[in-house]
Amino acid sequence: MKIAIASDHGGFALKQQIMEYLTSLGYEYKDFGCYTADSMDYPDIAFPTAQAVASGEFERGILICGTGIGVSICANKVKGIRCALCSDVVSAELTRQHNDSNMLAMGGRIIGVEVAKAIVKTWLGTEFTGGRHQRRIDKISACEG
């Protein structure tokens, strides 16, 4: 599975740790920035990352900003993206099972690294349940036009 990952300055430190963790789990990823802890605008990394997932170049995407909110708002404006902002493992599991989320957003100023690692491992390892949940996703897709 190819993963696109990005953060702004508010998520930079957590992203560095999550990239190391992805490597330890054997996942392949591409870092879409930012590349320093200098202040920058989260839409500048969130949109290109979401577009890379929407195009099919990457199967999943992970976005991190200070709260996770700004990047999730951006990602969910890209057609085909279902980005879930998670601060706990149960939400990470359920958003894969029920929403077939293809992007995960987290807040680097909200959760600690161990919680973030557990969220990432669960989110990457959980399958979509399908069935009645597919019908609901089809209704979201229909709204996108």
Closest C-alpha among 58, 93, 92, 94 to residue 78 = 58
Nearer to ligand RB5, 9 or 121 (CB): 9
Q: How far is the CB of 109 from ligand RB5 (least distance, A)?
A: 7
**How far apart, in whole angstroms, are the C-alpha atoms of residue 61 and residue 43?**
15
Q: How far is the CB of 110 from ligand RB5 (least distance, A)?
A: 9
DSSP character string of 44-62: HHHHHHHHHHHTTSSSEEE
Check whether the bond before 34 is cis (ω within 30° of 0). yes
- What is the DSSP secondary structure assignment for residue 11, as one 8-state letter? G
Stretch of 18-26, 48-56, 67-75, 117-125 lying at the interface with ligand RB5 (CB under 6 A): 67-75
Binders of ligand RB5 in range 15-44 (CB under 6 A):
42
Least distance (Å) from ligand RB5 to the CB of residue 111?
13
> Is residue 13 within the footprint of ligand RB5 (CB under 6 A)?
no
Catalytic residues: 65, 98
